[in-house]
Amino acid sequence: MTYNIAVVGSTGAVGREMLQTLYERDFPVDNVYALASSKSPGRQVGFGDERTIDVQPIEDFDFSKVDFAFFSAGGDVSEKYAPLAGKNGALVIDNSSAFRMTQNVPLIVPEVNHYDLKGCLSENGGMNIIANPNCSTAQLVMALCPLHREFIIKRAVVATYQAVSGAGKEAMDELFNQTKKIYVNDPLEKNVFTKEISFNLIPHIDVFLDDGFTKEEVKMRDETKKILDENIDVVAHCVRVPVFVGHSEAVFIECENPMDEEVAREVLTEMEGVIVIDHRADEGYITPKEAAGEDGVYISRIRRDESVPSGLVFWCVSDNLRKGAALNAVQIAELAISQGIK
């Protein structure tokens, strides 16, 4: 059986990665529709090595023609068009934050919470929408899941180092252009980020809230609880770094059960989608550059945290455009097919 697919936001970094991932995983596609706003007239995007697709305006599209609609065009577009697509029979997999905390909208990382998705369907009181988590949350819960099963995590403290591609193609262009201009002493322009990103770090992602945290940090807390366990306390500090692709996280966990470092290493190694590269030597760890273009969630620098009775520290890296977005979305569609939803 084959399926008709729409990719909303197809001209953006995640949308293009979505098309590439569908092709690479040999997803059973019949027709593929590339959608974007009416501001992208006459553009084309690639699907596979030889095929190109004309980009259509989302404003005029009939979603009853597709089985799956992948949304990666931001919250405003999702809020307007995702419910419409769902009402017209498409199963929506939404990469924005618009519906992640909505009741009857599953928030899914297939390796972690692959429970029955049928509750999302309209006949069961749902909206025909499944949410993809925040890119930083996706890789975090992949690492926390096996550790939580073994040790019962009470608290997780996370410092993220997030690539500019998490803010879209324009953000990647801004890093490239600023870097180039520094070397020729040209004046720098800031259009996407609040401060210069080239050769710099910005300790601020998304809008500030009244308590001093940012929306990105609250997303990580709330989404981890929804996906994994409401009883886990999570605190995050999110930092934008001058890296094109690949989010990194320094993670500190405190557990209820006694910590055994070797058992922790073992359960992480056995977790589907997790790759442990941890040699206590120079170059014995993963960096975002090496994770870019790869599907796995990489874990390095595993060690006991002696400052608490049962703690562990580790380094977690993943390609934010793949497992953090496109790959996870396609895996959700594959899961829906396996459960007979489509």
**Which residues are catalytic, by number?**
135, 247
Which tokens in the block code for residue 98?
A: 């618009």
Query: Strand 153-162's sheet: what is its strand order?
Result: 233-240, 153-162, 247-255, 311-318, 297-305, 274-276
Calpha distance 30→257 (Å, rounded): 50
Instruction: Give the 3-state secondary structure of residue 259.
Output: coil
Residue 95 identity: N
Q: Of the candidates 104, 105, 156, 154, which has an alpha carbon nearest to the alpha carbon of residue 132?
A: 105
Phi-psi region of 325 (alpha: psi -120 to 50; beta: other; left: phi over 0): alpha
Taking each helix axis as running N to C, give the angle between helix 261-270 and helix 135-151, from 0 to 180 degrees, rounded to the nearest 10. 130
DSSP structural state of residue 134: P
Element (H, E) at 145: helix 135-151
Bridge partners for 214 per DSSP:
208
Structure tokens at 161: 């180092």
Report the relative pairing of strands 29-36 and 311-318 from DSSP bridges: unpaired
Contacts of 262 (CB under 8 A, 6+ apart): none
Amino acid at 204: H
- Contact between residue 54 and residue 27 where contact means Cβ atoms under 8 Å apart: no
Alpha carbons 77 and 185: distance in angstroms, whole number: 39
Rounded to an integer, what distance in angstroms lies between the CA atom of residue 102 and that of residue 329? 18
